[in-house]
A and B are shown apart, each in its own frame.
Chain A
Amino acid sequence: MNSLYTYLFIAILLFTLGIVAVFLRRSLIGMLIGIELMLNAANINFMAFNRYLAPDPLIGQIYTVFIMGIAAAEAAIALSIIIAVFHRFHSINVEQARELRG
């Protein structure tokens, strides 16, 4: 039950759900949620390889911490862009925001 393949399969399912969210949702926050799900799938992969394969089990944890830091930066920037888009178009629907002007 607790094998490498179990964790890799869980990560694949989470990644697929994230892809579906990015393609399906029209609201920008829904797409951001999809991106977070994909990043978490990557984290699970790193931790699983770290647990079952890696020569030094500290390095995978360090990479996971780095990915979390990058995800935090990405979420901060994405949310501020979403707020700017909302003030400009009065909607966070991507189909409303299709003109690219300064």
Chain B
Amino acid sequence: MNTLQDLVHPHLIAQVGFAFVVILCFAGALIAVLPRNILHNVLGLILCLTGVAGLFLYLGSPFIALMELLIYVGAICISMVFAIMLSRPLHLSLPARRPVKLVLALAVGAGIFIMLSALVFRTGWHPAATRAADWSIAGLGGYLLTRYELVFEVISLLLLVAILGAIIITGHIGRRPNE
């Protein structure tokens, strides 16, 4: 009996999926950086972050992939869309981008790219001698409540302070006298 596994090798499916995820990631990143229309930028960022979530799946952690979708795509990108409602109207023509700036930005990017590539490819990475095999979410929760409890609490405090700060910064606007 012919199943799908007989027709197509599973490794082939995995590799095609990986290529798809990487292409999604970079197409999204290019859309997020280059176009002038800021709504297209945010939609490109959503595409790119979905690709990154797929990469996390390939790195063996469905939990982090779902967190990526939930936090980045679901929270950060959507709040950016809300902020864009305050941006300049999209139908107005924008001033032209100066070519000098484009060249300088690409030069800085190329410099950093070359530096980091040299750093990564010249370092010999060695895996640790003994490696635990526990990838479970239960183990993750155990660490969050024992060994990393302090960091967990500090991050909660940070988020609380950030929410209060955001409310105060934006709530301050209405009460200020007009000028």
Chain A residues within CB distance 8 Å of chain B = 1-2, 4-5, 7-10, 12-21, 23-25, 27, 29-30, 32-34, 36-37, 40, 43-44, 47-48, 50-59, 61-62, 64-66, 68-77, 79-84, 86-87, 91-93
Contact = CB atoms under 8 A, between A and B. Distances in A.
A4 to B, nearest CB: 6
Q: What is the interface residue range for chain B against chain A? A: 35 or more
Given A55-B128, A55-B131, A83-B173, A65 B64 contact: yes
A10 B104 CA distance: 23
B20 interface: no
Given A33-B32, A64-B67, A65-B64, 4 more contacts: A23-B104, A37-B32, A61-B61, A83-B169
B117 A17 contact: no
Contact of A80 (B32, B75, B166): B166
Interface of B: 15, 18, 22, 25-26, 29-30, 32-33, 38, 41-42, 45, 48-49, 52, 55-56, 58-61, 63-64, 67-68, 71-72, 75-76, 79-80, 82-84, 86-88, 97, 101-102, 104-106, 108-110, 112-113, 116-117, 120-121, 125-135, 139-140, 143-144, 148, 151, 155, 158-159, 161-163, 165-167, 169-170, 172-173
